[in-house]
């Protein structure tokens, strides 16, 4: 299978001042999927414009026809499975079945405290994620769900008519630890990683490839433990967070080299950030568009 190329468009532009045109251009360029971050705000963008993921994707669904759309990623930090399921079913309907839910355990950033709570420990995040994903799976596949857990509850939650995509829209589960990888193996149609964050500042590209190989091997073990063929699970690398940083977007040749090395690890999808001037995601727009249009053919 050819390596698929997708993009992530951060929701910082007003819809009528560049937001709509970015999503439409992503479709014109032939990206497989255009994702957006599902945060209340994010890092250096905290004090600037930042819009909600679900309304943004709803508008993007109306502005495009073929492009798949999704979050990368949604987390329990400020979401509840019952209300999220209703929004996702609506979004899948509006888009005609073009939605992928990227989902992860969340971190310690702005999302973790915006509702007034103390940040959860890694164990608490894993515990909540371990309830969140299976419950959301049920909510998106069953007409009525009742559940009482340690962290989440549902009482006769109705989700009729369900997703356009059957049995539900696909999950792309972000995980690197053993519990998260087990969730990806059991509930995911795809697995997402950004690499090893410990290598971002001082690691080398070679060390990053080794770390990613180890992650894919652990994913294979998690799949084998439940009798699932790991090759049936898509593997998505969200780029920009490995020691390579933005260098793969400096030229077509640089990107093809980067993509080829990661395709050899079994990755089926690479996601590149839509260029944002004066940010960590700054890139030459002409080079970016050339990569979008020409790289997939070279990676087939």
Chain segment 212-236, per-residue pLDDT in tens: 999 999 999 999 999 999 999 999 9
Quote the mean pLDDT of the chain. 97
CA dihedral over 240, 244, 245, 249, signed as positive or negative: negative
Euclidean distance between CA atoms 199 and 180, whole angstroms: 20
| pLDDT above 90 (res 300) | no
| pLDDT above 70 (res 199) | yes
Tokens (6 digits) for 225: 């433990």
Tokens (6 digits) for 210: 């080794």
pLDDT at 40: 96
pLDDT at 42: 95
pLDDT tens digits, one per residue of 114-131: 999 999 999 999 999 999
pLDDT at 2: 81
On whether the CB atoms of residues 159 and 89 are closer than 8 A, the answer is yes
Concatenate the DSSP letters of all residues of 80-137 into one string.
Answer: -HHHHHHHHHHHHHHHTS-EEEEE----SSGGGTTTSPPPPPHHHHHHHHHHHHHHHH
Nearest alpha-carbon partner for 244 in 229, 263, 234, 259: 259
């Amino acid at each position: 299978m050819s390596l698929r190329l997708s993009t992530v468009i951060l929701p910082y532009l007003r819809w009528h001042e560049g937001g709509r045109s970015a999503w439409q251009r992503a479709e014109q360029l032939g990206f497989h999927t255009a994702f957006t971050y599902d945060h209340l705000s994010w890092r250096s963008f905290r004090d600037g414009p930042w819009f909600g993921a679900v309304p943004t994707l709803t508008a993007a669904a109306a502005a495009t026809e073929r492009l798949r759309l999704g979050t990368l990623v949604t987390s329990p930090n400020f979401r509840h499975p019952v209300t999220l399921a209703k929004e996702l079913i609506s979004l899948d309907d509006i888009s005609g079945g073009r939605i992928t839910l990227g989902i992860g355990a969340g971190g310690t950033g702005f999302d973790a405290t915006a509702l007034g709570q103390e940040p959860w420990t890694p164990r608490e995040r894993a515990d909540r994620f371990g309830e969140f994903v299976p419950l959301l799976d049920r909510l998106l596949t069953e007409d009525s769900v009742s559940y009482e857990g340690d962290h989440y509850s549902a009482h006769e939650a109705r989700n009729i008519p369900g997703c356009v995509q059957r049995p539900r829209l696909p999950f792309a589960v972000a995980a690197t630890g053993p519990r998260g990888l087990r969730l990806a193996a059991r509930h995911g149609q795809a697995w997402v990683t950004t690499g090893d964050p410990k290598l971002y500042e001082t690691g080398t590209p070679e060390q990053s490839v080794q770390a990613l190989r180890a992650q894919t091997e652990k994913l294979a073990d998690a799949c084998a433990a439940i009798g699932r063929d790991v090759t049936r699970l898509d593997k998505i690398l969200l780029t920009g967070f490995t020691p390579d940083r933005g260098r793969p977007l400096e030229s077509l040749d640089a990107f093809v080299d980067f993509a080829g090395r990661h395709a050899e690890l079994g990755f089926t999808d690479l996601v590149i950030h839509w260029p944002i001037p004066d940010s960590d995601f700054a890139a030459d727009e002409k080079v970016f568009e050339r990569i979008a249009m020409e790289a997939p053919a070279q990676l087939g």
